[in-house]
Amino acid sequence: MALDRFKQALTALMIAAPSDPLDRDEYFEVTPLPAADGPFELVVVDEENGIFAALYLDRLFQEDEAGQEEVALLLPGYLEETFGLEPSEWVPTAPFDLGWRSREFLWFLEFSLPGLTPACHSDA
């Protein structure tokens, strides 16, 4: 079944999440989906709308700094290798305000998984 590996990782994250809404939001900001080490980590940025962010961990970038395009090209392969997500299964979304960004930032891309049901919940 499509999305199985991603759903397993998401379920593990959701089970460990606190039930208090404020604690839960903080938990998702700093706790990535369980995965093998790699140049990216995935976090839940909007649980209600099922929006995730892939954060590139290997370096910080200045705004408009060269090299970000190359990072973007690495993401599809990472998602496929780590979570079994084909490029057709995830869709980039409009940027969600992550709040903790500054002039130096980790490259990230926010995305949703239209075929993920339920969209973002521990009953996956």
Confidence label for 118 from pLDDT (cuts 50, 70 and 90): low
Q: Which residues of 70-90 are buried (b: 16+ CB within 10 A; e: fewer)?
A: ebeebbeebbeebbebeeebb
Instruction: Give the pLDDT score at 49.
Output: 86
| Cα–Cα distance for residue pair 39/12, rounded to 1 Å | 21
Q: What is the pTM of this model?
A: 0.84
Quick: pLDDT tens for 39-96.
Answer: 999 999 888 888 999 999 898 887 778 888 899 899 999 999 999 999 999 999 876 5
- What does the pLDDT average to over 97-105? 53
